[in-house]
Chain A
Amino acid sequence: MGFILISLIILIGITSYFLGNLRAKNLRTSNQKNLKSLSHYYGYYVALWALVPALLILLMITSFKSFFIEQYVLSDFIALGSYTETELSLLFTQIENTALGIKLFDENTILIDGAVNKLNYINKTIENLTYVTVLGLSGLLVLYSLFNINNKLNSRKIVEKFLLVLYFTCSLVAIMTTVGIIFSLLYETLRFFSQVPIADFLFGLNWSPQRVFVREAGDLDTRDLANAFGAVPLFAGTFLIALIAMCVSVPVGLLTAIYMSEYASPKVRDWAKPIIEILAGIPTVVYGFFAALTVAPLVRDIGQGAGLTVSSESALAAGFVMGIMIIPFISSLSDDVIKSVPQSLREGSYAMGATKRETIVKVLLPAALPGIVGSFLLAVSRAIGETMIVVMAAGLNAKLTANPLDAATTITTQIVVILIGDQEFDSPKTQSAFALGLTLFVVTLALNFIALQVVKKYTERYD
């Protein structure tokens, strides 16, 4: 029904634009009235009256509809008073299924049949009501605004004001997203910390939320909770894998950047730079597949050849592939920074008889250092927040280890492991994922903030 209704509203909107336009033109010719705006602005004016209130009403109806329907259909059951809220929502799903012809249960048949009838009735009524209200409102407002067109009305100003408000609202979406992220993370995290002390989460050495899940049937022992949600192994694993990634990407990325900016001929630059940037455009799930299927077995075979015990989900494989993914971030950022070092510094150094290498290592790099460090920090934040590679190639069990050949798990992996598939929303296990998410959010934000400050300070120095 939504599709038909929306098409109808849009149709009304288009027609009303032409009506408004026509009426303005008629007024101009017949009455010699001096309208304040161009005719088509009156068209827009009428179309806005036709569309905006109707769409807002429709939005309101669709968002409150399901709540209202549920209350109405379940009123008999609520009156009984013997159902909890979860049971009621389960019941509602069952009633919906029964209405669709899927019969799953046979208790309370009379009440259920009544509820199914009620559901069908209310659905039909609300649909009809929606049509009448929305289309009626739209039509009335078109008429109202058509008759409102006169020589005192400056429709251009109204239309422009509306556009400005619309643009401003759109730019608020960024703020609303941030607020939404902070709100959703903070809300669940606070509920989590009301059950698990924050110190246990930040400094505990044992991470095994699965255990809590199993025991959920019985009463939760607070000691159990404290022992299950120690996030230090995750922090350590994240740090280990990010460190391995940086060990790969920092030298490669930096040397590539130096080659690109100082040695390469424009021709080489023109084809090598885009190719390396392909690495940044490949979806991370592809890296994950590559790490799990090709690199991890390779690392294991090489390790075993050397007589080492290597886990098949070693941190080394995940970190290495992540490092390759990050190379273009470091190389292109550092490239920009090195290139923006003033030419006079290079020339001064050459004039003193320094070789190219000496110029780069002793003059350019120190001068560009803040920017380069900034790019490293951005890369670290990228590595910490990266999900798919570690989900597919790193371990799932939390173990406190510093051995790169061992399996390690990360914050992002655990969020996915906990939240994938169906989850119960009130358990501390689910909430712990949001606490991890908040930690991740804060850390990456702080890293980015510091990185941007460092880069900013540097660019100011030479401007």
Chain B
Amino acid sequence: MTDRIEQRINSLNKRLNSEKRFRIYCIGAMSFALAWVLILFLNIFSSGYSAFYRTVIQVDVPFLNLIEDTTQFSEMSSEDINNLSMYSFSKKAIYGLFPDIEEKKDKKMLIRLFSIEFEQEIREFLKSNKSNINETETIYLTASDDVDQVNKGNYPRDLDEDKRRIKDIQLLFFDDLVDRGLVSYEFNLPFLMRGDSREPELAGVGGSIVGSLFTILVVLILSFPIGIFAAIYLEEFASKNRVTDFIEININNLAAVPSIVFGLLGLGIILNTFGLPRSTPLVGGIVLSLMTLPTIIIATRASLRAVPPSIREGALAVGATKMQAVMHHVVPVAMPGALTGTIIGLAQALGETAPLLLIGMVAFVVDVPQTPLDASASLPVQVYLWSESAERGYVEKTSATIMMLLGFLILMNLAAVLIRRKFETKW
């Protein structure tokens, strides 16, 4: 008798224990998923935030050596200043940091502490301050990528010299400049404004932000009206027949087609058959519109379906035509849902990369595009391009680009949530 009871108790304990274990597994699985969200964000942010400031080195530029009277600059046009030969002058200004150096090799190393555009930077300074140049001006010149990374502590200093991109003598110079208080940080505005570059310290996301904006604009212009019209037709006017069934099946299938297949469509039809220009936001926008359409159509249809029949019937009862009932009464009520769907679709399109690779939006573009017909990159493509580059400086730039991309996505999704909260009517 007692044996039996004991057996029961044992088996009950076993069952309860396995219940506990199972619960722990479940919590573990969920924490695992949540942890990866955290790891992903921490990883990106910790390696990316440093791209938003940059190292500059303070250099005294004796403009008196370039010209006898510095007031003369104010009479020069920008073109005159462009024609001035400033290369050796700029170099000498940098040598002025360490007047004792004699050897040519060391001088070269010193120059390499700066970005290759140091001459251009001095020229720009001259252009924008030409009416007000003193004999000697203090200018903050961009440091080279290697110096920038060492200064931010992203690059190990204790490697062997031949394994390191920055040489011992350069580190000596650099430490001395730090001691003299000439090295400082400033907000990395050029990173936000400029196009791509082969030099990490000069590369910016400005071009790809504009490219992304143009692409999204094209997507919005194409897919918003087409998507909404298609949804209105299918939900309000279509009679149930083979054609509309076929359209429905097609829309659902398109939503599941891998994005790269849309890239093949763009390459085969839009570029090669219609001959639209490669690498442009226009073509990228068209391809992404086709991808986004199913999302918009499905969301709009759902919100049209949620409008109670009483609204339609009320309008019809007072003599409106079917079209008037739909356009004046049903669609305005369904609009918040359609807008939410559109924004979510646009957010998907903004993050999409694969189809853009196939239609050539991976071109290396230095200029910020002016129209949707200029070759350009987009934010996610920029991430791909920079992640393929070997230089250390591109790692933080890539992470920073991702931060901006995620920022845009969060904003868009927030907008979608707000629109839904504010305007959606519950029936």
Interfacial residues, chain A to chain B (CB-CB below 8 A): 63, 66, 156, 160, 163-164, 166-168, 170-175, 177-178, 180-181, 183-185, 187-188, 251-256, 258-260, 263, 272, 275-276, 278-279, 281-290, 292-294, 324, 327-328, 331, 355-358, 360-361, 378, 381, 384-388, 391-392, 412, 415-416, 419-421, 425, 433-434, 437, 440-441, 444-445, 448, 452
Contact = CB atoms under 8 A, between A and B. Distances in A.
Nearest to A360: B22
B293 A177 contact: yes
Which of B37, B44, B260, B409 has most A Cβ within 10 Å?
B260
Contact of B353 (A256, A278, A388): A388
Given A255-B26, A276-B33, A387 B354 contact: yes
B268 A185 contact: yes
19 contacts: A160-B321, A164-B233, A164-B237, A167-B232, A171-B233, A177-B265, A180-B265, A181-B265, A185-B265, A278-B37, A286-B351, A286-B383, A293-B387, A293-B395, A358-B19, A387-B353, A391-B384, A441-B257, A444-B257
Given A167-B232, A177-B265, A294-B43, A283 B351 contact: yes
Given A276-B34, A440-B258, A184 B264 contact: yes
A156 B381 CA distance: 48
B256 A444 contact: yes
Interface string B198-230: 000000000000000000000000000111011
Contacts of A361: 22
B47 to A, nearest CB: 8
A144 B32 CA distance: 70
B387 A392 contact: yes
B76 interface: no
Contacts of B352: 283
Given A170-B229, A255-B28, A290-B43, 15 more contacts: A160-B323, A167-B233, A168-B237, A170-B230, A180-B265, A181-B262, A183-B268, A185-B265, A254-B29, A256-B26, A285-B383, A356-B19, A387-B260, A391-B354, A419-B358
Contact of A437 (B264, B272, B321): B264
A174 B323 contact: no
A290 B406 CA distance: 14
Contacts of B244: 171
Interface in B391-421: 395, 398-399, 402, 405-406, 409, 413
Prevailing SS type, chain B contact patch: helix
Rank and list the top 7 A-B pairs by shortest CB-CB distance, nearest first.
Answer: A385-B258, A283-B351, A184-B268, A255-B29, A167-B233, A259-B26, A387-B354
A419 B267 contact: yes
Given A174-B297, A263-B23, A416-B357, A381 B256 contact: yes
B233 A168 contact: yes
Interface stretch (B128-136, B142-150, B168-176, B245-253): B245-253
Interface residues of B, number: 86
Interface string B266-282: 01110011110000000
A444 B25 CA distance: 32
A178 B247 CA distance: 10
B380 A420 contact: no
B27 interface: yes
Interface of B: 15-16, 18-19, 22-23, 25-30, 32-34, 36-37, 40, 43-44, 225-227, 229-230, 232-234, 237-238, 244, 246-247, 250-254, 256-265, 267-269, 272-275, 290, 293-294, 297, 321, 323, 327, 347, 350-354, 357-358, 360, 362, 380-381, 383-384, 387-388, 395, 398-399, 402, 405-406, 409, 413
Q: Which of B30, B251, B264 has the most CB of A within 10 A?
A: B30
B229 A275 contact: no
A386 B258 contact: yes
A282 B254 contact: no
Contacts of A260: 30
B261 A440 contact: yes
Nearest to B383: A285
Nearest to B265: A181
Given A272-B30, A285-B353, A387-B354, A255 B237 contact: no
User: Which residue of B19, B272, B352, B354 has the most chain A CB atoms within 10 A of its CB atom?
Assistant: B354
